[in-house]
Structure 1
Amino acid sequence: MNEYKIPGGTRIGHVHLKVSDLKRSLEFYCDLLGFELMTTYGEDAAFISAGGYHHHIGLNTWMSKGGSPSPREATGLFHTAILLPTRKDLALLYMRLREAKYPLSGASDHGVSEAIYLNDPDENGVELYWDRPREEWPKKEDGSLDMYTRPLNMENLLGELK
Protein backbone atom coordinates (compact mmCIF):
# COMPACT_ATOMS: atom_id res chain seq x y z
CA MET A 1 0.00 0.00 0.00
CA ASN A 2 1.34 3.47 -0.82
CA GLU A 3 2.09 6.17 1.75
CA TYR A 4 -0.67 8.53 0.58
CA LYS A 5 -2.19 10.70 3.29
CA ILE A 6 -5.33 12.70 2.76
CA PRO A 7 -4.47 16.46 2.73
CA GLY A 8 -4.65 18.35 6.03
CA GLY A 9 -7.15 20.87 4.63
CA THR A 10 -9.72 18.14 3.97
CA ARG A 11 -13.04 18.61 5.78
CA ILE A 12 -16.25 16.69 6.17
CA GLY A 13 -18.58 18.81 4.04
CA HIS A 14 -21.96 17.68 5.32
CA VAL A 15 -23.93 14.86 6.86
CA HIS A 16 -27.22 13.65 5.42
CA LEU A 17 -29.65 12.02 7.85
CA LYS A 18 -32.69 9.83 7.26
CA VAL A 19 -35.45 11.11 9.55
CA SER A 20 -39.01 10.01 10.19
CA ASP A 21 -40.68 13.44 10.39
CA LEU A 22 -39.12 16.37 8.51
CA LYS A 23 -41.08 19.08 10.34
CA ARG A 24 -40.07 17.69 13.75
CA SER A 25 -36.42 17.46 12.67
CA LEU A 26 -36.46 21.06 11.39
CA GLU A 27 -37.89 22.20 14.73
CA PHE A 28 -34.95 20.51 16.49
CA TYR A 29 -32.11 21.54 14.19
CA CYS A 30 -33.38 25.02 13.22
CA ASP A 31 -35.64 26.24 16.01
CA LEU A 32 -33.69 24.71 18.92
CA LEU A 33 -30.07 24.47 17.71
CA GLY A 34 -30.24 27.52 15.44
CA PHE A 35 -29.37 26.16 12.00
CA GLU A 36 -30.73 28.09 9.01
CA LEU A 37 -33.03 26.46 6.45
CA MET A 38 -31.38 26.88 3.04
CA THR A 39 -33.80 25.00 0.80
CA THR A 40 -36.30 22.17 0.66
CA TYR A 41 -36.90 19.47 -1.93
CA GLY A 42 -40.66 19.19 -1.88
CA GLU A 43 -42.06 17.92 1.40
CA ASP A 44 -39.48 15.18 1.88
CA ALA A 45 -36.06 16.82 2.21
CA ALA A 46 -34.43 19.94 3.62
CA PHE A 47 -30.92 21.34 3.66
CA ILE A 48 -29.76 23.43 6.61
CA SER A 49 -26.66 25.47 7.32
CA ALA A 50 -24.60 27.44 9.78
CA GLY A 51 -23.62 30.79 8.30
CA GLY A 52 -25.11 30.49 4.82
CA TYR A 53 -23.14 27.51 3.45
CA HIS A 54 -25.29 25.55 0.97
CA HIS A 55 -25.77 22.86 3.63
CA HIS A 56 -24.05 21.29 6.57
CA ILE A 57 -26.90 18.88 7.29
CA GLY A 58 -29.33 17.27 4.87
CA LEU A 59 -32.53 15.80 6.29
CA ASN A 60 -34.80 13.50 4.31
CA THR A 61 -37.72 11.12 4.66
CA TRP A 62 -37.20 9.46 1.25
CA MET A 63 -36.89 5.97 2.76
CA SER A 64 -37.70 6.64 6.40
CA LYS A 65 -40.98 8.60 6.65
CA GLY A 66 -42.76 7.45 9.81
CA GLY A 67 -39.94 5.02 10.54
CA SER A 68 -38.55 4.11 13.91
CA PRO A 69 -35.04 4.81 15.23
CA SER A 70 -32.30 2.29 14.57
CA PRO A 71 -31.64 -0.09 17.45
CA ARG A 72 -28.98 1.27 19.79
CA GLU A 73 -26.82 -1.83 19.25
CA ALA A 74 -27.00 -1.65 15.42
CA THR A 75 -24.10 -0.52 13.28
CA GLY A 76 -24.27 2.94 11.75
CA LEU A 77 -23.66 6.54 12.69
CA PHE A 78 -22.71 7.05 16.35
CA HIS A 79 -23.18 10.82 16.31
CA THR A 80 -22.87 13.94 14.22
CA ALA A 81 -20.30 16.26 15.80
CA ILE A 82 -21.03 19.96 15.40
CA LEU A 83 -17.91 22.06 16.02
CA LEU A 84 -18.69 25.49 17.46
CA PRO A 85 -16.25 28.41 17.14
CA THR A 86 -15.98 29.30 20.84
CA ARG A 87 -16.63 28.03 24.34
CA LYS A 88 -19.17 30.82 24.75
CA ASP A 89 -21.13 29.42 21.77
CA LEU A 90 -21.24 26.04 23.53
CA ALA A 91 -22.45 27.75 26.71
CA LEU A 92 -25.18 29.61 24.79
CA LEU A 93 -26.43 26.40 23.20
CA TYR A 94 -26.34 24.62 26.55
CA MET A 95 -28.46 27.43 28.03
CA ARG A 96 -30.98 27.11 25.15
CA LEU A 97 -31.21 23.35 25.71
CA ARG A 98 -31.60 23.82 29.45
CA GLU A 99 -34.32 26.45 29.03
CA ALA A 100 -36.16 24.13 26.59
CA LYS A 101 -35.74 21.28 29.10
CA TYR A 102 -34.22 19.22 26.29
CA PRO A 103 -32.59 16.05 27.70
CA LEU A 104 -28.84 15.59 27.43
CA SER A 105 -27.21 12.18 27.17
CA GLY A 106 -23.85 13.42 28.45
CA ALA A 107 -21.35 16.23 28.87
CA SER A 108 -17.60 15.63 28.77
CA ASP A 109 -14.23 17.31 28.94
CA HIS A 110 -11.91 15.47 26.52
CA GLY A 111 -8.81 17.60 27.14
CA VAL A 112 -8.70 18.73 23.51
CA SER A 113 -12.37 19.73 23.57
CA GLU A 114 -15.50 20.13 25.67
CA ALA A 115 -18.70 18.49 24.49
CA ILE A 116 -22.40 18.17 25.19
CA TYR A 117 -24.22 15.09 23.91
CA LEU A 118 -27.89 14.67 23.06
CA ASN A 119 -30.14 12.83 20.64
CA ASP A 120 -32.25 14.39 17.93
CA PRO A 121 -35.95 13.41 17.68
CA ASP A 122 -35.01 10.26 15.70
CA GLU A 123 -32.41 9.31 18.32
CA ASN A 124 -29.50 10.18 16.05
CA GLY A 125 -26.62 11.16 18.32
CA VAL A 126 -25.52 14.80 18.27
CA GLU A 127 -22.31 16.15 19.80
CA LEU A 128 -22.06 19.92 20.28
CA TYR A 129 -18.46 20.88 21.05
CA TRP A 130 -15.67 23.41 20.85
CA ASP A 131 -11.95 22.69 20.50
CA ARG A 132 -9.46 24.17 22.90
CA PRO A 133 -6.58 25.95 21.16
CA ARG A 134 -4.15 23.37 19.79
CA GLU A 135 -1.32 24.61 22.02
CA GLU A 136 -3.44 23.68 25.08
CA TRP A 137 -4.10 20.09 24.03
CA PRO A 138 -2.76 17.67 26.66
CA LYS A 139 0.19 15.54 25.56
CA LYS A 140 1.77 12.36 26.82
CA GLU A 141 5.52 12.12 27.45
CA ASP A 142 6.01 10.70 23.94
CA GLY A 143 4.27 13.77 22.42
CA SER A 144 1.05 11.97 21.41
CA LEU A 145 -2.33 13.36 22.43
CA ASP A 146 -3.56 12.54 25.92
CA MET A 147 -7.30 12.60 25.28
CA TYR A 148 -9.62 11.53 28.07
CA THR A 149 -13.26 11.64 29.11
CA ARG A 150 -14.03 13.50 32.31
CA PRO A 151 -17.27 15.14 33.46
CA LEU A 152 -17.78 18.63 32.02
CA ASN A 153 -18.16 21.30 34.69
CA MET A 154 -21.45 22.81 33.54
CA GLU A 155 -21.44 25.69 36.03
CA ASN A 156 -17.96 26.67 34.85
CA LEU A 157 -19.20 26.50 31.25
CA LEU A 158 -22.11 28.82 32.10
CA GLY A 159 -19.54 31.26 33.52
CA GLU A 160 -18.78 32.11 29.86
CA LEU A 161 -22.13 33.95 29.77
CA LYS A 162 -21.31 36.39 32.59
Structure 2
Amino acid sequence: MNQFEEKTIKSETVFNGRIIDVQVDDVMLPNGKTSKREIVKHPGAVAIIPVSKNNKIIFVKQYRKPLEKVLVEIPAGKLEEGESPEITALRELEEETGFTTKNMNYVSSFYTSPGFADEIIYLYETNSLEKLTELKELDEDEFVELIELSIDEAEKLIATQEIHDIKTIYAILYLKSKGMK
Protein backbone atom coordinates (compact mmCIF):
# COMPACT_ATOMS: atom_id res chain seq x y z
CA MET A 1 0.00 0.00 0.00
CA ASN A 2 1.45 3.39 -0.97
CA GLN A 3 1.38 6.34 1.42
CA PHE A 4 -1.91 7.69 0.02
CA GLU A 5 -3.83 4.54 -0.84
CA GLU A 6 -7.13 3.79 0.84
CA LYS A 7 -7.93 0.09 1.22
CA THR A 8 -11.57 -0.86 0.62
CA ILE A 9 -13.00 -2.79 3.56
CA LYS A 10 -16.60 -2.99 2.32
CA SER A 11 -18.45 -1.73 -0.74
CA GLU A 12 -22.22 -1.40 -1.13
CA THR A 13 -24.17 -0.25 -4.19
CA VAL A 14 -26.98 2.01 -2.94
CA PHE A 15 -28.42 3.12 -6.29
CA ASN A 16 -28.52 1.69 -9.81
CA GLY A 17 -29.62 4.21 -12.41
CA ARG A 18 -29.82 4.60 -16.16
CA ILE A 19 -26.74 6.86 -16.29
CA ILE A 20 -24.98 6.38 -12.96
CA ASP A 21 -24.69 3.97 -10.05
CA VAL A 22 -23.77 5.08 -6.54
CA GLN A 23 -21.78 3.03 -4.09
CA VAL A 24 -20.64 3.64 -0.54
CA ASP A 25 -17.26 2.23 0.43
CA ASP A 26 -15.84 1.80 3.90
CA VAL A 27 -12.10 2.40 3.61
CA MET A 28 -8.99 2.08 5.72
CA LEU A 29 -7.05 5.34 5.54
CA PRO A 30 -3.25 5.51 5.34
CA ASN A 31 -3.14 6.50 9.04
CA GLY A 32 -5.09 3.37 10.06
CA LYS A 33 -8.41 5.11 10.69
CA THR A 34 -11.56 4.32 8.72
CA SER A 35 -13.86 6.51 6.68
CA LYS A 36 -16.72 6.30 4.18
CA ARG A 37 -16.51 7.25 0.51
CA GLU A 38 -19.59 7.95 -1.63
CA ILE A 39 -18.67 7.11 -5.21
CA VAL A 40 -20.56 7.84 -8.43
CA LYS A 41 -19.87 5.10 -10.99
CA HIS A 42 -20.21 6.19 -14.64
CA PRO A 43 -19.42 4.22 -17.81
CA GLY A 44 -17.43 7.12 -19.30
CA ALA A 45 -18.17 9.60 -22.04
CA VAL A 46 -16.72 11.20 -25.13
CA ALA A 47 -16.64 14.74 -26.42
CA ILE A 48 -15.72 15.96 -29.87
CA ILE A 49 -14.48 19.32 -31.07
CA PRO A 50 -16.00 19.88 -34.51
CA VAL A 51 -14.27 22.67 -36.44
CA SER A 52 -16.04 23.91 -39.58
CA LYS A 53 -14.48 24.81 -42.92
CA ASN A 54 -14.69 28.50 -41.96
CA ASN A 55 -12.59 27.78 -38.83
CA LYS A 56 -15.43 28.00 -36.31
CA ILE A 57 -16.29 25.53 -33.58
CA ILE A 58 -19.72 23.92 -33.73
CA PHE A 59 -21.36 23.91 -30.31
CA VAL A 60 -24.67 22.64 -28.99
CA LYS A 61 -26.86 24.76 -26.77
CA GLN A 62 -28.96 22.75 -24.33
CA TYR A 63 -30.72 22.90 -20.99
CA ARG A 64 -28.93 21.17 -18.10
CA LYS A 65 -31.40 20.19 -15.39
CA PRO A 66 -28.84 19.70 -12.56
CA LEU A 67 -27.79 23.33 -13.07
CA GLU A 68 -31.25 24.67 -13.99
CA LYS A 69 -29.76 26.62 -16.90
CA VAL A 70 -28.84 26.50 -20.57
CA LEU A 71 -25.20 25.84 -21.46
CA VAL A 72 -23.23 26.04 -24.69
CA GLU A 73 -21.05 22.92 -25.01
CA ILE A 74 -19.12 20.83 -27.48
CA PRO A 75 -21.04 17.70 -28.56
CA ALA A 76 -20.67 14.85 -26.07
CA GLY A 77 -22.31 11.70 -24.85
CA LYS A 78 -22.12 8.60 -22.71
CA LEU A 79 -20.26 5.49 -23.80
CA GLU A 80 -22.61 2.60 -24.44
CA GLU A 81 -21.65 -0.83 -23.13
CA GLY A 82 -19.09 -2.45 -25.43
CA GLU A 83 -18.77 0.67 -27.60
CA SER A 84 -15.33 2.15 -28.30
CA PRO A 85 -14.80 5.85 -27.62
CA GLU A 86 -14.17 6.50 -31.34
CA ILE A 87 -17.56 5.01 -32.30
CA THR A 88 -19.31 6.97 -29.55
CA ALA A 89 -17.64 10.21 -30.68
CA LEU A 90 -18.78 9.71 -34.27
CA ARG A 91 -22.31 8.75 -33.16
CA GLU A 92 -22.61 11.84 -30.95
CA LEU A 93 -21.21 14.11 -33.67
CA GLU A 94 -23.78 12.80 -36.16
CA GLU A 95 -26.74 12.83 -33.75
CA GLU A 96 -26.11 16.22 -32.19
CA THR A 97 -24.78 18.22 -35.14
CA GLY A 98 -25.94 16.56 -38.37
CA PHE A 99 -22.30 16.29 -39.51
CA THR A 100 -20.04 13.29 -39.93
CA THR A 101 -16.31 12.88 -40.51
CA LYS A 102 -13.86 10.33 -41.82
CA ASN A 103 -10.98 11.86 -39.90
CA MET A 104 -11.05 12.21 -36.10
CA ASN A 105 -8.00 12.79 -33.95
CA TYR A 106 -7.74 11.68 -30.33
CA VAL A 107 -6.75 14.64 -28.14
CA SER A 108 -6.71 13.40 -24.54
CA SER A 109 -8.81 11.99 -21.74
CA PHE A 110 -9.55 13.36 -18.29
CA TYR A 111 -11.56 12.66 -15.16
CA THR A 112 -14.41 15.08 -14.54
CA SER A 113 -14.74 14.97 -10.73
CA PRO A 114 -12.22 12.53 -9.22
CA GLY A 115 -13.19 13.43 -5.66
CA PHE A 116 -16.45 11.49 -5.95
CA ALA A 117 -16.85 10.05 -9.46
CA ASP A 118 -14.96 7.71 -11.78
CA GLU A 119 -16.28 9.33 -15.01
CA ILE A 120 -13.63 9.73 -17.70
CA ILE A 121 -14.13 11.74 -20.89
CA TYR A 122 -12.26 10.91 -24.10
CA LEU A 123 -11.77 14.02 -26.23
CA TYR A 124 -11.52 14.03 -30.04
CA GLU A 125 -11.31 16.72 -32.69
CA THR A 126 -12.12 16.95 -36.38
CA ASN A 127 -11.82 19.67 -38.99
CA SER A 128 -13.06 17.58 -41.91
CA LEU A 129 -16.82 17.78 -41.46
CA GLU A 130 -19.32 16.56 -44.02
CA LYS A 131 -23.04 17.34 -43.80
CA LEU A 132 -25.16 14.20 -43.45
CA THR A 133 -27.70 13.67 -46.21
CA GLU A 134 -30.07 12.05 -43.73
CA LEU A 135 -30.19 13.40 -40.17
CA LYS A 136 -29.79 11.03 -37.22
CA GLU A 137 -32.27 11.01 -34.36
CA LEU A 138 -31.36 12.71 -31.09
CA ASP A 139 -32.11 10.82 -27.91
CA GLU A 140 -35.83 11.20 -27.16
CA ASP A 141 -35.12 13.40 -24.13
CA GLU A 142 -32.48 15.55 -25.85
CA PHE A 143 -33.12 19.00 -27.33
CA VAL A 144 -30.24 21.01 -28.79
CA GLU A 145 -29.57 24.04 -30.95
CA LEU A 146 -26.38 24.37 -33.01
CA ILE A 147 -24.23 27.47 -32.91
CA GLU A 148 -20.89 28.17 -34.58
CA LEU A 149 -18.41 30.37 -32.78
CA SER A 150 -14.85 31.60 -33.23
CA ILE A 151 -12.39 31.18 -30.36
CA ASP A 152 -12.89 34.86 -29.43
CA GLU A 153 -16.67 34.48 -29.39
CA ALA A 154 -16.39 31.29 -27.30
CA GLU A 155 -14.13 33.05 -24.79
CA LYS A 156 -16.77 35.75 -24.35
CA LEU A 157 -19.30 33.02 -23.49
CA ILE A 158 -16.87 31.63 -20.90
CA ALA A 159 -16.77 35.08 -19.30
CA THR A 160 -20.59 35.18 -19.13
CA GLN A 161 -20.73 31.54 -17.96
CA GLU A 162 -22.82 30.44 -20.94
CA ILE A 163 -19.89 28.11 -21.56
CA HIS A 164 -19.35 26.79 -18.05
CA ASP A 165 -18.32 23.13 -18.26
CA ILE A 166 -14.78 21.85 -18.12
CA LYS A 167 -14.82 19.69 -21.26
CA THR A 168 -15.77 22.69 -23.40
CA ILE A 169 -13.35 25.07 -21.71
CA TYR A 170 -10.60 22.44 -22.08
CA ALA A 171 -11.44 22.11 -25.79
CA ILE A 172 -11.20 25.87 -26.32
CA LEU A 173 -7.85 26.05 -24.50
CA TYR A 174 -6.61 23.10 -26.56
CA LEU A 175 -7.51 24.82 -29.85
CA LYS A 176 -5.89 28.06 -28.68
CA SER A 177 -2.70 26.15 -27.80
CA LYS A 178 -2.64 24.88 -31.39
CA GLY A 179 -2.81 28.45 -32.67
CA MET A 180 -6.48 28.59 -33.67
CA LYS A 181 -7.88 32.09 -33.60
TM-score by length of 1: 0.25
TM-score by length of 2: 0.23
Q: Name whichever structure is richer in strand by fraction.
A: 2
